Amino acid sequence: MTGNKGAMPPSSAEEPILSDLAKVDSYELTDEDYDEIPELTDEMIARANLYVNGRLVRPVVSNVPPEPAVAPVTHRTRKAG
């Protein structure tokens, strides 16, 4: 299989690969495999982080407003007596 190696950040060197990579590499894609893949939409692409050579060059910018901040609460106790 071929692909854009800069599409995702690299995995950590300490993390072992648990897949059978020889089996994955030997798999031949068929037309049915491609039929299962959904079409990419402009919305999907706009929601994606862009990596080049493993470095993030364009983070996702969300149109969703952030959760409102909660005002800090202070609590005072009176001295007994």
The reported pLDDT for the residue numbered 27 is 93
How does DSSP classify residue 62?
-
Q: CA–CA separation, 63 vs 61, rounded Å?
A: 7
Which positions of the chain have pLDDT values less than 50? 1-2
The reported pLDDT for the residue numbered 30 is 92
Q: CA–CA separation, 79 vs 81, rounded Å?
A: 6
The reported pLDDT for the residue numbered 77 is 77
Q: What angle do CA 39, 53, 63 make, to 5 degrees?
A: 50
pTM comes to 0.34
The reported pLDDT for the residue numbered 17 is 84
Q: CA–CA separation, 57 vs 9, rounded Å?
A: 11
